[in-house]
Structure 1
Amino acid sequence: MGEWVGREMSIAIGSGAVSGGVVVAAVGGSFAGILLGAFIGSVLGAVVGGVSVAAGHLAIRAAAFWPAPSERCWRARFASCSAAAIFLLMSMCSMWVLSTSAGEASLMMPGVAVGFAAATFVCTLALAPRSASKSDTSHALWIPR
């Protein structure tokens, strides 16, 4: 397990906590409400980070069978796997919310899924591992030219 896992989880939990606290503060919540929103946001951030890390491990395993031609291509593929996993997770959650709500369907929920996927892509692109683990120095995750 690389150090990218810790960084990915830290960013996911931190951004979830901040966004949860900001949402409660925006609707005029008390200090206790802001703390509760931050806690709930951090738990949801941990879920999102865990899914992103699982997709990253899948990308690393796939690199053994389908190596990328360059480091830039590898990092984009890694970020795309994570973003696709988050998009699927958020799409399923939004479909569940839309199917159980009595109100009219809104286009806001698919937009939220796309927003989560875009944020995941950008964060994961910056955090993608550059090579195989330090114990496995036999090959890189991309084919050097």
Structure 2
Amino acid sequence: MASTTMEGVPPGGFKTLGEIDATNDLRIHTKKTGMDVALELLATHSSGAPIVDDQGKFMGFVSEFDLLRAIESGKDLNTVTADQIMSTSHFVANESTTIGDAIRIMNEKHLINIPVIKEGQVAYSVTRHDLLRARIGLGPGIES
């Protein structure tokens, strides 16, 4: 592991998802159209996002593949909604989930990002990029 002497890195390095700055705070409401979801993912260069209800509670996850499957099956992205194309079996984590566990789960389940739940709501998602940055000891704001 790289040296963790950079400003903003706790002694001993990052250990949990709650200690790292995630780069993806995108959340999509259940009733957004598939087209709105697609445009939001494209505009933010995101591969997917958690789907939430009015209270911010995790309901599912939609990825670029979910959108492509909807198109390929003949669904109209202008009328289908996020809750109709989302996956409800996507893994979620909390702030105490270890970085090691998140890496293992993402690898085993072939995930690109994991929503992180805080106080019952989706707070943000961690990406493979976030985990790599944390694992090599790069502190918050390295992209600035």
Shorter chain as denominator, the TM-score bin is: 0.3 to 0.5
Higher helix share: 1
Higher strand share: 2
Q: Which has the higher contact order (CA 8 A, sep 6+)?
A: 2
